[in-house]
Amino acid sequence: MNPAAVRLTRPLQSLASAGDDLLDRLLCVAGAVLASQVPEFIQQYLQRLGGRLDEARRQLEGFHAVAAKSGLTFEQLVARSQASAEPTVAQLGRLMDATVARVDGLAAAEAGIRSASLLTRPFVFLRHLDFEIARSTWAVFRPAVPTTAEGLAYAAVGVLLALALYQLGVKRPVRRAWRRRAERRAAPGA
């Protein structure tokens, strides 16, 4: 390589190195900020889930009160309602049955997510995810700076993921391409 070309490429290499360092840092910050929002979203999701569970339980308590005032157990009221020849009353029986299932499902989801460990919480959350609740949570989601150990752990994972994606998905392939290009140019007969 001629000396004039070397003098021109050194500043460009220095500038590229500085840009690479800045990009590394920006990606670390972006990864930390984005990943630290996962526990915040789950926490806001749990608030909505808990609200829906409370409402379903209140509705179920109303059905139990009607059964008690009628001198029946709840199960007897459901069975009689579903067996009714009147379509409206039969629908009410199916609604009571669906309410029981809804309370059971929401309670299981809430208990599962709340009792999950730091490492398993995202997977338990996804297993119990109710898309309607997630959509309504996202509609009003407010990012926050988590100051918990969980938020810090997720931020650290975000940093590692961002760096790994950058290093393995961008930096390494670009360096490999530049190296091959330089080797082709340096090869005799090129």
pLDDT at residue 5 above 90? no
Phi then psi dihedrals of residue 116, to 5 deg: -70, 150
Burial degree of 3 (CB within 10 A; 0-12, 13-18, 19+): exposed
Kindly tell me if the per-residue pLDDT of 8 is higher than 60. no
pLDDT band for position 175 (cuts 50, 70, 90) = confident
Sequential DSSP letters for 67-106: HHHTT--HHHHHHHHHH-SSHHHHHHHHHHHHHHHHHHHH
pTM, whole model, 2 decimals?
Answer: 0.71
Question: Which residue did the predictor score with more confidence, 65 or 178?
Answer: 65
Alpha-carbon torsion 147, 149, 154, 157, what sign?
positive
Residue 148, amino acid: T
Long-range contacts of 140-146 (CB under 8 A, 24+ apart): 140/44, 141/41, 141/44, 142/44, 143/37, 143/40, 144/37, 144/40, 145/36, 146/36, 146/37, 146/39, 146/40
User: How large is the average pLDDT for residues 4-19?
Assistant: 55
Residue pLDDT, tens place only, 122-167: 999 999 999 999 999 999 999 887 778 888 888 888 888 888 888 8
pLDDT band at 60 (very low <50, low <70, confident <90, very high): very high
Higher pLDDT, 186 or 56: 56
In the predicted model, is pLDDT for residue 114 greater than 80? yes
Question: In the 8-state DSSP scheme, what is residue 117?
Answer: -
Higher pLDDT, 20 or 134: 134
What local confidence, expressed as pLDDT, does residue 69 receive? 96
Instruction: Quick: pLDDT tens for 62-111.
Output: 999 999 999 999 999 999 999 999 999 999 999 999 999 999 999 999 99
Query: In this predicted model, which residue has the larger pLDDT, 10 or 183?
Result: 183
The encoded tokens of residue 133 equal 């609740």
pLDDT at 148: 82
* Locus of tokens 């590692």: 160
- Residue 100, amino acid: V
Question: What token pair was written down for 151?
Answer: 């938020």
Q: What is residue 7's predicted lDDT score, i.e. its pLDDT?
A: 52
Place of tokens 């029981």: 100
pLDDT at 104: 97
Query: Is residue 30 over pLDDT 80?
Result: yes
Distance CA 134, CA 125 (A): 10
Which of 45, 25, 43 lies closest to 146, judged by CA?
43
